[in-house]
Structure formats: C-alpha cells, structure tokens
Amino acid sequence: MKKSSYSRIISYVFPNLGFFILSFAGYLLFALSQVGIADWFRQIVDYISKPDNSLNLYLPLLLLLFALGRGIGYFVGHFNMAIVSTRLIYDLRKDLFKSLVYLPSNFYDMSNSGHLLSRMTFNVTQIKDSGTYAITILVREV
C-alpha cells in the first residue's frame, strides 16, 4: 500500500517531535495571549464606563504580561518550527541525493540537469512550506 504525501512528510517530522511540541506550546501561548488581550479590552471598556481605582495598577501590568506572553509564544513557536523545517529540508535533500547517486548513468543522459537541480532545491523547499506553514497557521489560529 502506498503512503500518502502528507503521511510521508509527517514521517520526516516525527524525528523532531520534541521541537514540534515546543513549537506547538509556543503557538498555544500566543493564541492564549490573543484571547487574554481581547478580555483585557473588555475590562478597559468596563473601567472607562465605571472607573475603579483598584484596577489602576492591575490593568497596565496585565497588558504587559499579555504582550510578554505573546512575544515569547511567537518566538518559541517560530524558532522551533524553523528548526523542524530546516531539519525536514536536510533530511529530504539527503534522501533525494542518496537515491540520485544510485541511479544508472543513462538516467542522467536523458534528464535535464536544471530539472534535477530544481528537485533538489525548489521542490524540497515547497514541500517544507506546505508542511510547516500549514501546521503553523492551523495551530496559531485555531
């Protein structure tokens, strides 16, 4: 039975599962801070309509906490996803090169060298983008 394209990509991501989980945690922190900022705006509107002196220090500190959480979540998510995607590119290119080395010489006579180079560079990068960016957007926005 032939594996689907995405299951093959996921098999390349699996060795970097720890970095992927850290990335997921960072994006989760980013998403939670988005929800917290929305609630903070609700509290600001309530504060403007009915001032309460006990919130004078609480609301600015809460905003700083949310901004810090959002920044840390964004950094951790993107940094670890970049590690996963870079290792994904490395593993794909390594396996592709390994398979190209063992091909017979008449394959190279019949193939365009630009096409082979494109497979090594551009196509592998497109696979990386489809895998990592889709997961990034899915986790960050949901």
pLDDT bracket for residue 50 (50, 70, 90)? confident
Instruction: Tell me the one-letter amino acid at 111.
Output: S
- Is residue 120 predicted with pLDDT exceeding 80? no
Q: What mean pLDDT, rounded, does the chain reach?
A: 84
Structural domain boundaries, residue 21: 8-141
pLDDT at 1 over 60: no
Q: Which two tokens stand for residue 82?
A: 């970049």
Query: Is pLDDT of 135 > 80?
Result: no
**Does residue 104 lie in a domain region?**
yes
- pLDDT value of residue 142: 61
User: How many angstroms separate the CA atoms of 71 and 30, rounded?
Assistant: 7
For CA atoms 60, 65, 70, 75, the dihedral sign is positive
pLDDT of amino acid 71: 96
Asked whether residue 2 is assigned to any structural domain, the reply reads: no
Give residue-wise pLDDT tens across range 3-31: 676 677 778 778 888 998 999 899 899 98
Residue of 61, 68, 59 lying closest to 33 (CA atoms): 68
Burial 80-119 (b: 16+ CB within 10 A, else e): bbebbbebbbebbeeeeeeeeeeeeeeeeeeeeeeeeeee
Sign of CA dihedral 21, 26, 32, 38: negative
Q: What does the pLDDT read at residue 22? A: 95
**Structure-derived torsion over alpha carbons of residues 84, 5, 11, 25, reported in degrees to the nearest 10:** 40
Q: What is the CATH number of the domain that holds 124?
A: 1.20.1560.10
> Is 3 among the domain residues?
no
Q: Could you report the per-residue pLDDT of 58-83, keeping only the tens digit for each?
A: 888 999 999 999 999 999 999 998 89
What does the CA dihedral 127, 130, 131, 134 come to, rounded to 10 degrees?
170
Domain-embedded: residue 23: yes
Domain count, the chain: 1
pLDDT of 51 reads: 86
First to last CA, the chain: 33
Confidence (pLDDT) at 138: 67
- Torsion of the alpha carbons at 46, 49, 55 and 60, rounded to the nearest 10: 80
The mean pLDDT value for 127-134 works out to 72
Residue 55: the pLDDT is 77
